[in-house]
Amino acid sequence: MVRWLMRGTPPDNIPRRHILSLIVGGLTLFVVASAARAQQGDGTLRGHEGAILMGVFTPDGQRAVTASTDQTARLWDLKSGLVLRPFDQHTGPLYCLGVSQSGSTLVTGSQDNTLRVWDLPPLVAAESLPLLPMTVRCLQLHPDGNRMLVGAADKSFSIHTLAPATGNPGPVAPPEIRAGHTGEVLAIGCRNDGVAYASADSTGQIILWNPFLPGPQRTLRGGDSRVNAVRFPANNQQLVTSGDDGVIRVWQLAAAAPRSLPAFAAEVVKIDLLTNQTQAVIVLADHTAAVINLADDTVARHFAAVPYAIREVTHAPDNSWMAFGGETGTVALVNPVDGTSRGQTIGHLGAVTDLASLSDNLQFVTAGMDGTIRQWQLPQAETVAAGHTAPTRGVVASPNGQWFATISDDKTTRLWDSQGGALRQMGAHEQPLRAVAVRDDAALLATGDLGGDVWLWNPADGSPQGVVAAHPGGVTALTFSTDRAQLITTGADQKVRAWKLPLPAKKPGEGEPPPQPVWEYLIPGGRLATSLVTLAADQGYAGVQGGVGELLRLKPDGTAVTPAPAAARPLKSLSVSGDGQQWLGVDDQGLATVWSAQGALVRTLPLGVNVSTARFKPDGTALIVADALPRVRICDAVTGLTQEEITTSIPLTDAIWVAAEFTQLAGVGDAVHPIVIRRALRRIFAEAPVPNTPPAVPVPIMQLAVVGDQQHLLAARQNGAIEQWRITDGSLVRRFDTGAVTMVDLPLTAHGQLVAGLGADQKLRLWNWSDGLLAKTIELGVAATSLTLSPDNTRAATAHTDGKIRVWGIPGGQLLETLEGHQGAASCARFLSDSRTLITGSADKTVRVATSTALQGFAVSPGPLPPSVLYNGGTHAITGRNASEVVMLDLSTGAETRVFRVKLPMPALAAAINPGEAVPVTYTAFQPTAVASRVDNQRVAAGTKTGELYLWNANNGDELMATFALAAPVSAVAFSADNQKLAAATADGRVRIYGPSIPGVQPPREWTLWQETQMATPVTDLAFSADSQSFWAGLENGATERWPVAAPGPIRQYNHGGPVYGVAINGSGKVVVSCSTDQTVRVWDNVTGQQKFQLNGHEGAVHAVAMSRDETFAISSGADGTLRLWDIVGGRQLKELVRYSSTMYSVAIHPQGQFIAAAGADRKVHLLDMIAGTEVRTLTGHTDYIHSVQFSPDGTKLVSYGYAGHLKVWRTADGVLLHESRQGQIGNYAAFSPDGMQLLLSGGDGLARTIVAP
């Protein structure tokens, strides 16, 4: 066109009206292109890049089709003014078009000598499913193509049987409605083999369904956020989901279904898994416990109630014992096999808050509300040292604790090793024994009896070493001087005497003088000394005086020291620390008073009533307390607090320290036999006191964990402090920064690299073990009661007050799964060795066993994800990320495989770069709202919030293949199964279908717009039919509709010998009549695609053709000025109706068939009688060529439209001019709407206008 416009000489075969339109269209090309971007809805159709030579309404009156010199025809939505589909395969300007009365077929004629037949997209759906009461949210076509799965806002999931594609559809079964969701159903998936469905809703619930069973088969939950995608990979063994929490989850479908054990009688407090993983220990709120078999969920053993609430439980790694920690500070140990007792430990002041065993199967550690950590060995039974035949009255141990000696009413002294084994017996007394002492070098042992005799013995062999009649009336106490040269005695005569050693080998004979004491002291007031102790060097001796609180205090020479230290009440026993620097007296109310070696008061310690004796441990750090009860207590020498309480078989009146490191005790009471008691307490972990600083108020320890190296432990205090202690020496290593948040639970990963803390602030924290720094904080959102870590270090599970168990990925912190089922607060959870199965307990009195179905969880974005899709059979997933890009992830590792981005053009920046320097690549951010992957894995598509549609090469995220601007947010995208089509739905209710251009179009395009369909309401989801020939759309109004996809190119092509100027098509679209510059009228069979007739007769180009309503004849007009009547059924000319002197450009047949209207170059409208062929009336008034003439649908009006846009409307009956106006620059065609209420005006300015018909 440009070439002949420049030459100024048009081709001979182009009519003048076409030439004028081409000129005007070319001059206004850029104006029209700009106008196409203007606001729609004013009745003007903008978008053609050339003159519009013809435009007609479709029979539905809601759309229009136009033909233009830009070589395209376009289908328009008249309401929005938007193009629904272009028809762009002609290679020359389009001169004419016709639409069948059915509205399904379009015929276009072009200067390229061809006539092309097209499918028109339908205005109504080909199939509709039953209308739902609320918005359709998602669609999924069943693999068999015969069923549609639909999710809706009314919480329903329905399965619809589709009508057969061909043949008589017959009745269709009503839909199956599946109930079970608690929120809007947002996503549906169907396994590739069709044997399982999955659906997900706005509350985060995911339900697995069996197609043949009505109820849910299993419920899964990641979190409480919306889940908008559920996809089955090709392996059919997994499920992939994503949603608003930004996490893509991979689920294992073959996992065992969760189960509940028979309910217990009380709330479940704690659970511990025995090492063999076949049994679990359940602690109940009724103070009982049970062992259950996990293989068959039976109770293997039930333990009777204890008199205190059980708070914690642990077990030996070899399952040889279990330990229960209680509210009273007691830890009870039992044999899990038969339930027999393995002893108990008592020591904490208040509740035991946590327990942990060590790997040697012999030790465990405890934590308590008293703020202490204690290391214990397995309690051992006491040993009865059998041998005496009468009650035992006293006990003393060698300084190194390797042996001890006991005295008895049976008048004998017996030596025992530290384990209670008998060593030897010594007996020479004639009266029951009441006093015993051992020299500090263990070389002498002294015993005194009720008769007043004192014997000395060699402990090594039991031989007597001397004897003295020390006191008439009986001996009450004995000791040795620090220089080992004297024996100090006291007795019933109220005297204290010192005897020079060695003593006589035997008592003096009759008449022989008795030995005399070195010195003698008479106790004032007639009081007895009930005990004597030797003080440090040169300090002399001290003793208890019966009935008073004042100590008996003597110098080494036996003279009294005054004033002597005194207690407020009468004293019962006296002990001196190993270094002699502290003295300990206990009064008759159990109050202990500690004095310094100088006699100054140091402190008082309430030890409890009925205390008979209290003795310093040799190092002075602890006290052993006997109180005539069947127990012995070891108390802290500074605070008086109990470190350990050991239950004994007999009430004890006295006990001493024995064995190496004094880990055992020997005790005596009123029983015949002494006992050896073995301490279970190994260590109390405590910081060294700060000199001159009052002791800190102890902070309760709430949680305890032993590190895998067995060298350290962690303790979490109530004030939030987490401390690391060294087990080997009890020293504090460091503290972790917790932000002063109390830890509810404190497990460690099995590999020991992370410390996990469950905070009272509803956060889960992870610290690096290496440096103690906080590595991750996870917001839980709901109060949690328990935390457990999986053995493979990949998961954490938290039990919550809402009854749910939440499983988290570590160290990433993403929520993997939420396990439901408990009806009350969940109290505890423990992983089995497979790191996926959990056993959980609750206040609802139940124990559940559930396998965490979530295999992986990948945190893709901090915000919502658009519905993700699978790629490569499900080995990868594609989704939007950070509202700015599309990403592909490897679902086995979570690794980012590819990022799909849109490069930002930077011409200015590129120009500023020096030659040879790389141009920086930047990318534009976009907000993906929908993504799709083609079946062959070669293309990826994404729609955006701002209305763009992007397509990439799936193998290269930077290779953008196409971009389309859709003007409204994209709600859904989908590829067809044949890989040829892409559907995109937008928020304005439009669905666009894209596909490749047909062969022969240059340049070829992989993606071009095929059609647009305007829906009644916005589209929420899309799915192609199995044959890819139609698409399904879910709508906001609750409808689900199937719409055919029109073929991308013409379905027929017919060839003339010259440009095609006119065309007519019958109502069904089966017959087409066309005319051309080749001087012929041709009739085409549109079913077979064959020419039926070529009708000759015209002597020049034929410009127009019209078909009668009964489809039996046609009228044509041409450059020879004639109107000719043709029999299109028989294929012959019936007559030449009239011959005018000027070309007739347009011809029309009255709807009732009695008139013909023709107009053309003579500027007149001719109305002729159809039968007679005579002119009835001639309508004048046009001043230039008339390009178009048409009757109204009811035949009462006639419209003519011509050069310079002159429009006239006439009354058919009498020719009266009803209206005239100028519309546009060049008037090419005017067409009535089907109801006659509007006119569509096609102009040479590239615009088509709809106006109200005058």
What one-character-per-residue DSSP string does 42-53 give? SSEE---SS-EE
pLDDT confidence of 908, banded at 50, 70, 90? very low
Q: What is the largest CA-CA distance in the chain?
A: 187
**In contact, 636 and 645? CB cutoff 8 Å:** no
pLDDT in tens, 388-399: 999 999 999 999
Higher per-residue confidence, 21 vs 403 = 403
Percent of the chain with pLDDT over 90: 76
Q: Does residue 552 surpass a pLDDT of 80?
A: yes
CATH fold group of domain 127-255+860-1044: Methylamine Dehydrogenase; Chain H (2.130.10)
Report helix, strand and coil shares of the chain as percent, to nearest 5: 5, 50, 45
**What's the average model confidence in pLDDT over 568-573?**
92
Task: Name, in order, each residue with C-beta under 8 angstroms of 887's C-beta and a sequence gap of 6 or more.
Answer: 860, 878, 879, 880, 881, 896, 898, 899, 900
Instruction: Encode burial over 1044-1058: b for 16+ CB neighbours within 10 A, e otherwise.
Output: bbbebbbebebebee
Higher per-residue confidence, 1003 vs 1077 = 1077
Percent of the chain with pLDDT over 70: 94
356-360, 706-710, 1219-1223, range with the lowest pLDDT = 706-710
Q: How many CB atoms lie within 10 A of CB 810?
A: 21
Which strand (E) or helix (H) includes residue 32?
helix 29-35
User: What are the tokens at 868?
Assistant: 């993700």
Looking at residue 915, what is its pLDDT? Answer: 56
**In contact, 549 and 568? CB cutoff 8 Å:** yes
pLDDT confidence of 477, banded at 50, 70, 90? very high
What does the H/E/C string look like for 283-342? EECCCCEEEEECCCCEEEEEECCCCCCEEEEEECCCCCCEEEEECCCEEEEECCCCCCEE
Residues of the chain with CATH 2.130.10.10: 2-120+1049-1235, 127-255+860-1044, 383-679
Q: Does residue 1119 surpass a pLDDT of 90?
A: yes
Q: Does residue 1200 surpass a pLDDT of 90?
A: yes
| CATH classification (class only), 2-120+1049-1235 | mainly beta
**In contact, 1041 and 1033? CB cutoff 8 Å:** yes
pLDDT in tens, 1082-1113: 999 999 999 999 999 999 999 999 999 999 99
- Three-state SS at 734: strand
Task: Name, in order, each residue with C-beta under 8 angstroms of 675's C-beta and a sequence gap of 6 or more.
Answer: 382, 383, 384, 385, 420, 648, 649, 650, 666, 667, 668
pLDDT in tens, 216-227: 999 999 989 999
Beta strands at 743-745 and 754-759: parallel, antiparallel or unpaired? antiparallel
pLDDT confidence of 29, banded at 50, 70, 90? very low
Looking at residue 905, what is its pLDDT? Answer: 64
**In contact, 780 and 798? CB cutoff 8 Å:** yes
Q: Does residue 695 surpass a pLDDT of 90?
A: no
Locate the DSSP E strands across 760-814.
763-768, 774-779, 784-789, 795-800, 805-809
pLDDT confidence of 920, banded at 50, 70, 90? low
Residue with tokens 């109770």: 299
Residue with tokens 């549109």: 1086
pLDDT in tens, 332-347: 999 998 889 999 999 9
**In contact, 346 and 644? CB cutoff 8 Å:** yes
**What's the average model confidence in pLDDT over 72-101?**
91
**What's the average model confidence in pLDDT over 1074-1081?**
97
Order of strands, edge to edge, in the sheet holding 114-119? 94-99, 105-110, 114-119, 1052-1055
Burial tier of 1136 (Cβ tally within 10 Å: 0-12, 13-18, 19+): middle
- Three-state SS at 491: strand
pLDDT in tens, 767-776: 888 888 888 9
pLDDT in tens, 458-471: 999 999 999 999 99
**What's the average model confidence in pLDDT over 302-316?**
93
pLDDT confidence of 38, banded at 50, 70, 90? very low
**In contact, 389 and 369? CB cutoff 8 Å:** no
pLDDT in tens, 637-655: 998 989 999 999 999 999 9
CA dihedral sign, ordered 486, 491, 493, 495: positive
Which strand (E) or helix (H) includes residue 1230?
strand 1227-1232
Among candidates 1105, 1198, 1187, 1204, which has minimal Cα distance to 1145? 1187
Task: Write the CA distances from 789 to 279, 292, 561, 849, integer angstroms.
Answer: 19, 22, 66, 16
Alpha carbon distance 930, 900 (integer Å): 13
Beta strands at 675-678 and 383-384: parallel, antiparallel or unpaired? antiparallel
4-8, 56-60, 340-344, 1009-1013, range with the lowest pLDDT = 4-8
* Peptide bond connecting 563 to the previous residue in cis, omega within 30 degrees of 0: yes
* Residue-wise DSSP of 642-678: EEEEEE-SS--SEEEEESGGG-EEEEE-SSSS-EEEE
Which strand (E) or helix (H) includes residue 937?
none
**In contact, 720 and 740? CB cutoff 8 Å:** yes
pLDDT in tens, 1003-1049: 888 998 888 888 999 999 999 999 999 999 999 999 999 999 988 88
CA dihedral sign, ordered 459, 462, 464, 470: positive
pLDDT confidence of 1135, banded at 50, 70, 90? very high
Q: Does residue 6 surpass a pLDDT of 50?
A: no
User: What are the tokens at 642?
Assistant: 């109990």
Alpha carbon distance 840, 506 (integer Å): 77
User: What are the tokens at 1254?
Assistant: 């005058």
pLDDT in tens, 501-514: 999 999 998 889 99
Q: Does residue 531 surpass a pLDDT of 80?
A: yes
Looking at residue 172, what is its pLDDT? Answer: 72
User: What are the tokens at 777?
Assistant: 């904080």
Among candidates 927, 931, 978, which has minimal Cα distance to 951? 931
Give me the CATH code for the 383-679 domain, please.
Answer: 2.130.10.10
The mean pLDDT of the chain is: 90
Looking at residue 1175, what is its pLDDT? Answer: 93
